[in-house]
Amino acid sequence: MFRKDDRGIPGSTALEATGLRWLADAMDDGGVAVVPVRSGRGWLEEPQLNDRRCTPKAAFSFGRALAHTHAAGASHWGAPPQGWEGDGWMGRARLPLRSEAWTDSWGEFFATDRIMPMLAPARDNGSIDRSGAVIIEKLCERLRDGDFNHSQPQLLTQAGTAVARLHGDLWSGNVLWCPVADVARSCKEFLSEKTTDEPQDGAAIMKDGAAIMTNAQQLEAFAGGPVVGVMIDPAAHGGHAETDLADLGLFGQQYLDSVYEGYQSVSPLESYWSERVGLHRVHMLIVHAMLFGGGYGYETVQVARHYV
């Protein structure tokens, strides 16, 4: 069993558990497998899953499932996972979340709530200099003007859903590629265990999708093969589906093309989506510049420059 507490960032475990449950709601409609979670005041527990190797088939199935997770939708840009109030976190970076709709423009949301809040801290640590900040600000002007607004993938547009349900921190390390038999065994043991701490009311166990996660035969059918991609550690919110897809490849994801193929097999992306990958990565890059400094600031500016 894996356990973490929120002593570093108070409330972070409650937020993570809420995000996991929100993402898991989509499993009944074919969404990505999500790690079960048990949580209480200041802590959460999950089964210990062993990350092995991705396969082309698992990557394809993950992409197909991710399309259904996104299609579960969110009420508005920057919406928190259902049941959460206040801002969120992406690692140690505060993530602005909005309790009510405030704009119908993805570009305005992305500039105002995902890029600009990170710029001042990145300048303060020296990773982005004055000239780089000017590039970032010009990009945000274009975003706010709507120059880069684009449609969601087909499953969302067909349903009239404007905003996707995002994992929000979907780099490759937040997807575990696990043998379905191991997942089923670990999840079954986890869900049968009792904790020494009292769980919060209504927050004891993620119920949606739990039956699938504990049955190897069902899970293999769900995953389309003997290996399944399981999402962990989200910064869940309402956003554009292409952001998750772009972030997944930022630090390297094996068989990424298979993920994209699986996604588009059920929910084709708008034309020229590959040209927008860098644009969607600016948020994760500037978060890294803010948190870690170094070359991340330079990379953020170089990517942003392409869209100015």
What's the CA gap between 112 and 230, in Å, rounded? Answer: 31
Closest CA to 155 of 27, 69, 76: 69
For all residues of the chain together, what is the average pLDDT? Answer: 93
What's the CA gap between 140 and 149, in Å, rounded? Answer: 12
Residue 232 binned pLDDT confidence (cut-offs 50, 70, 90): very high
- Amino acid making up residue 1: M
Please give the full DSSP string across 194-261, using - where no structure is assigned: --SSPPPTT-S---TTHHHHT-HHHHHHHHTSSEEEEE-S---EEE-HHHHHHHHTTT--TTHHHHHH
Q: What residue ranges in 68-158 does DSSP mark as E strands?
A: 88-90, 93-95
Residue 221 binned pLDDT confidence (cut-offs 50, 70, 90): confident
Residue pair 43/4 in contact (Cβ under 8 Å)? The answer is yes
What's the CA gap between 20 and 24, in Å, rounded? Answer: 6
Helices H / strands E in the chain, number of each: 13, 10
Residue 210 binned pLDDT confidence (cut-offs 50, 70, 90): low
Residue 70: both structure tokens together: 């996104």
- pLDDT score, position 164: 99
Mean pLDDT of 137-144: 99
DSSP 59: H
Q: Find the distance separating the first CA and the last CA of the chain, reported in whole Å.
A: 47
Mean pLDDT of 275-283: 99
Residue pair 104/271 in contact (Cβ under 8 Å)? The answer is no
Cα-based angle 195, 200, 202 (whole degrees, multiple of 5): 110
Name the residue with higher pLDDT: 203 or 254.
254
Three-class SS state of 34:
strand
What's the CA gap between 199 and 61, in Å, rounded? Answer: 33
- pLDDT score, position 250: 95
Distances in Å between the Cα of 31 and the Cα atoms of 124, 131, 149 are: 40, 42, 25
Residue 126, pLDDT above cutoff 90: yes
What's the CA gap between 263 and 277, in Å, rounded? Answer: 15
Residue 43: both structure tokens together: 């802590």
- pLDDT score, position 196: 56
Mean pLDDT of 154-169: 98
- pLDDT score, position 297: 98
- pLDDT score, position 183: 92
Residue 123: both structure tokens together: 């300048």
- pLDDT score, position 127: 97
Residue 209 binned pLDDT confidence (cut-offs 50, 70, 90): low
Mean pLDDT of 9-18: 95
- Amino acid making up residue 195: T
Name the residue with higher pLDDT: 223 or 99.
99
- pLDDT score, position 205: 46
Range of lowest pLDDT (37-41, 134-138, 231-235, 294-298)? 37-41
Q: pLDDT tens across 47-101, in order?
A: 999 898 999 999 999 999 999 999 999 999 999 999 999 999 999 999 999 999 9
What's the CA gap between 71 and 61, in Å, rounded? Answer: 16
Cβ neighbours of residue 114 under 8 Å, at least 6 residues apart?
96, 283
Residue 59: both structure tokens together: 């990557």
Give the strand pairing for 38-40 and 175-179: unpaired
Query: Rg (Cα) of the chain, in Å, rounded?
Result: 19
Architecture of the structural domain at 2-105+149-270:
Orthogonal Bundle (1.10)
Residue 204, pLDDT above cutoff 80: no
Closest CA to 16 of 79, 83, 102: 83
